[in-house]
Amino acid sequence: MSPPAPPTAHMDSGRDVATRPPDTDLGRDSAGLPELPAPLAPRGARAGKPYALVVLLQLHWFIRLRWIFAAGTLAVLAVERFVTPQAERPPHLWLAVLSVAGINVVWTLLSRPMRRQLDRAGDDHHRAIRAGQLFASAQIATDLFLLTWILALTGGVENPMSVFYLFHVAISGLLLRTWQAFMWSCWAVLLYGGMCLAQALGWLPFYPFLPQLGSVDLYTQGQHVALVVLVVAAAVFGTLYFTDRIGALLDQREAMLIRMNAALEQSRQAIHDLQRRRARFMQHAAHQLKSPLAMVQTFANLIRDGIVTDAAGIQATCEKIIRRSREGIAQVTELLALARVQESDPRRHRACAADVGRIVQEICQRHLPVAQEKGLQMTCDVCDGQSLLAQVDPADLIDCAGNLVENAIKYTPAGGAVRVTVTGGAQAGHADLPPPPATADGRQLADYVFVIVADTGIGIDLDEPHLLRSGGTLPGGTIFDAFRRGNNALALGIPGTGLGLSIVREVVEQAAGYIDVRSCRGQGSTFTVAFPAATAAPVAALNTRSSRIIVAGGGTGPDASARPS
Amino acid sequence: MPDAPYHILLIDDDPDMHDVVRLILPPPSYRVTCCATTAAGSSVLGAERPDALLLDIMLATPTEGLEFARRLEHDPQLGGIPIILISSAPLENPGQVPAGVAGFIEKPLQARDLREFLREVLR
């Protein structure tokens, strides 16, 4: 990005002035992020620096045009004097034109500190803009007066140069606030009308537009003067109306561009964050995988290098190799499960109607031997008398609920209990079910099916309260983050990949459900996951990997076909 | 061989590593004390100064081992114990290891590497 050019450069190359600096500033503003202007804010009230710069750059342009005007008029007058010496001009005319040049020197001198002030303005946009608009107003007011003076000396109502009023009105309509532009339009009409009237009534002396041709004395004919003033006034206010509308449109566009730019910057930031998280995840996953692999090789080295030689030692080392290999394979399996869930289309859940009660029961049955072996009491309650169909891909539900049950068994010491409950939100006697979050699109408790896995295990360390939040949006880690494991689990040396709850969260989030965790160290944990109940007739589940999942077929039977379409 | 065995302290949260190091550094030349946490390691260090410290970098936090080594470096009593870092990840900033660190071994652990390192350190 180029630094703002010094003021002198603006005087030299007009095109650079008009385009480059506003772009520069748009970029700088949006890089700061994200000061969004209110949409459709009144012009001038929305004080963006780019706008202020445009104002001032236009003033530079204004000053340059004034130089051209003064030089051109003086040149024409000089040529006229040389070619037609008999034509007489009032001496005041020279004074008026020189006044234009003189006052332009003042504007030029003023514009430089103004520009510096704008460059320094920083957050003080409003003041800088107000100053810029005041500067523009002063120039327009003075110009209108000087224009009227010059017209009065060069034919008044007979001089067609009155179109220059429109030029000033157009600029004020584009740059200034509506009321300011309206004020200067009135000022223009007042000056012009007053001048014409004064000359018609003889209060002001009249000088012909082209003294070479003599005057036709139109300025004395009241009807003509009235008509010309009326037409000029109509043109002035018409121009004001159109330019003001165009200015408002341009402002809206500018505001829209700034908003879009900010939105773009935000999404760029989001992509960057995602990439960083992915990279960190990869790094972590690789490290986690390397640990068991490295240990496998370390053990193998012991045998190869002859450090372990006796048969019993070799046997024990081989057992360890197998155990660590299994650990690595478990990690790969979970990583693959997580990747599968993450890359799948979240919309698949809506097309599913999984029989949660049945699936969870099957999961419990599968884990029962492990629980019994460990000396745990395991129960699975599926509430009857209510449909327990939920909008979740059955394969994902197996991953999700399976991980919760597995965790409960893993983190509960012998003699403890694991209690799994499946219930609908409408069921009586479940007043303690966690309510849906505010983001649940107005769904009620009754619109969900709940799987509650409660254990009497080690619980989640209270020293890690940040781990307890279940919302995926909070900064800082949660237990649902990949590879995150509680300190007490680590201290107790309970093996785990730290990926299980990541899978749970991913499935629940994708299925538009929610999670609630209640835990106390040493007193067990209760994980509640809620899936939106499938209210419609169950559709044959799509993307179902497991053939064991049978979708209840009630709705597709005779009832459905008998229903009038 | 010295009269008394070299006392080696190992701090690593993986119990398998304890077994491996004990196998690689057998008595009577070595006497290995194993700890799973730096807290346990500190109490061992407070009781008896080992001849060398084998330190896993990634403990409760990914850099706890390095921080522990840095603390030892500034400890007037315990500074100067040769430290050999062990990690399954490559050393990220080799220029910033604490002064007491005499070596770095990346897992998988090779018996030859460990013994050579120790021979140099204990000389």
Those residues whose C-beta lies under 8 Å from the C-beta of residue A277, and which sit 6 or more positions away, are none
Alpha-carbon distance B100 to nearest alpha carbon in chain A (angstroms): 26
Distance CA A218, CA A310 (A): 128
Distance CA B47, CA B69 (A): 18
- Which residues of chain A are within 8 Å of residue B88 when distances are taken between CB atoms? 287, 290-291, 294
**Nearest CB to B20; choose among A287, A293, A302:** A302
As to burial, measured by CB atoms within 10 angstroms (0-12 exposed, 13-18 middle, 19+ buried), residue B53 is buried
Q: Would you call B97 an interface residue with chain A, using a CB distance cutoff of 8 Å?
A: no
Locate all alpha helices (DSSP H) within A84-124, ordered by sequence. Answer: 91-120
Residue B92 burial (CB count, 10 A): 12
For residues A170 and A239, the answer to whether their CB atoms sit within 8 Å is yes
Q: Would you call B14 an interface residue with chain A, using a CB distance cutoff of 8 Å?
A: yes
- Tell if the CB–CB gap between A295 and B107 is shorter than 8 Å: yes
- Tell if the CB–CB gap between A324 and B89 is shorter than 8 Å: no
- Tell if the CB–CB gap between A302 and B111 is shorter than 8 Å: yes
Q: Would you call B105 an interface residue with chain A, using a CB distance cutoff of 8 Å?
A: no
Contacts 24+ apart (CB under 8 A), A53-56: A53/A21, A53/A22, A53/A25, A53/A118, A54/A22, A54/A175, A55/A129, A55/A132, A55/A133, A55/A136, A55/A175, A56/A111, A56/A114, A56/A115, A56/A118, A56/A132, A56/A135
Which of A295, A305, A323 should one mutate to test binding to chain B, selecting the residue with the greatest count of B CBs within 10 A? Answer: A295
Q: Would you call B88 an interface residue with chain A, using a CB distance cutoff of 8 Å?
A: yes
**Nearest CB to B88; choose among A294, A308, A320:** A294
- Tell if the CB–CB gap between B110 and A305 is shorter than 8 Å: yes
Those residues whose C-beta lies under 8 Å from the C-beta of residue B42, and which sit 6 or more positions away, are none
Distance CA B53, CA B22 (A): 14
- Tell if the CB–CB gap between A295 and B16 is shorter than 8 Å: yes
Return the number of CB contacts < 8 Å for A and B. 54
Residue A90 pairs in a beta bridge with none
Query: What are A234's two structure tokens?
Result: 């109509």
Query: What are B78's two structure tokens?
Result: 């315990």
Query: What are A500's two structure tokens?
Result: 């299980």
Residue-level length of chain B: 123
- Which residues of chain B are within 8 Å of residue A298 when distances are taken between CB atoms? 16-17, 20, 107-109
Distance CA A527, CA A535 (A): 24
Which of B18, B20, B61 should one mutate to test binding to chain A, selecting the residue with the greatest count of A CBs within 10 A? Answer: B20
Residue-level length of chain A: 565
Residue A385 confidence (pLDDT): 66
For residues B65 and B21, the answer to whether their CB atoms sit within 8 Å is no
Locate all alpha helices (DSSP H) within A492-531, ordered by sequence. Answer: 500-510
Distance CA B5, CA B28 (A): 6
**ipTM for the whole complex:** 0.91
Strands B30-35 and B6-11: parallel
Alpha-carbon distance A294 to nearest alpha carbon in chain B (angstroms): 4
Residue B96 confidence (pLDDT): 76
Distance CA A184, CA A141 (A): 7
For residues A443 and A532, the answer to whether their CB atoms sit within 8 Å is yes
**Nearest CB to B88; choose among A291, A302, A307:** A291
Residue A259 pairs in a beta bridge with none
Mean per-residue pLDDT of chain B: 87
- Tell if the CB–CB gap between B88 and A287 is shorter than 8 Å: yes
Distance CA A297, CA B110 (A): 9
Distance CA A23, CA A210 (A): 47
First CA to last CA distance, chain A: 64
Distance CA A262, CA A265 (A): 5
Distance CA A99, CA A351 (A): 81
- Which residues of chain A are within 8 Å of residue B112 when distances are taken between CB atoms? 305
Residue B14 confidence (pLDDT): 87
- Which residues of chain A are within 8 Å of residue B19 when distances are taken between CB atoms? 320
- Tell if the CB–CB gap between B109 and A301 is shorter than 8 Å: yes
Q: Would you call B122 an interface residue with chain A, using a CB distance cutoff of 8 Å?
A: no
pLDDT tens, per residue, chain A with 565 residues: 333 333 333 333 333 333 333 333 333 333 333 333 333 333 444 444 445 556 656 667 788 889 999 999 999 989 988 888 888 888 888 899 999 999 999 988 888 887 777 777 665 667 777 777 888 888 899 999 999 999 999 888 888 888 889 988 988 888 888 898 999 999 999 999 999 999 989 898 888 888 888 767 788 888 888 999 999 999 999 999 998 888 888 888 888 999 999 999 999 999 999 899 888 888 878 888 888 999 999 999 999 999 999 999 999 999 999 999 998 998 888 888 888 888 888 788 888 888 888 899 899 998 888 888 888 888 888 887 667 888 888 888 998 899 899 888 988 888 888 999 898 877 655 567 787 777 767 777 788 889 999 988 887 764 554 444 444 333 344 666 666 655 555 555 555 667 788 888 888 888 888 888 887 777 888 888 989 888 755 444 444 343 333 333 333 333 333 333 3
The enclosing H or E element of A392 equals none
- Tell if the CB–CB gap between A305 and B14 is shorter than 8 Å: no
**Nearest CB to A490; choose among B60, B108, B112:** B60
Residue A386 region by backbone torsions, left for phi larger than 0, else alpha for psi between -120 and 50, else beta: beta
- Which residues of chain A are within 8 Å of residue B89 when distances are taken between CB atoms? 287, 290
Considering the entire predicted model, what is its pTM? 0.56
What DSSP designation does B60 have?
S
Q: Which amino acid is at A323?
A: R
User: Which of B:15-74 have CB within 8 Å of A?
Assistant: 15-17, 19-20, 23-24, 36-37, 58, 60
Alpha-carbon distance A516 to nearest alpha carbon in chain B (angstroms): 27
Query: What are A488's two structure tokens?
Result: 């007490």
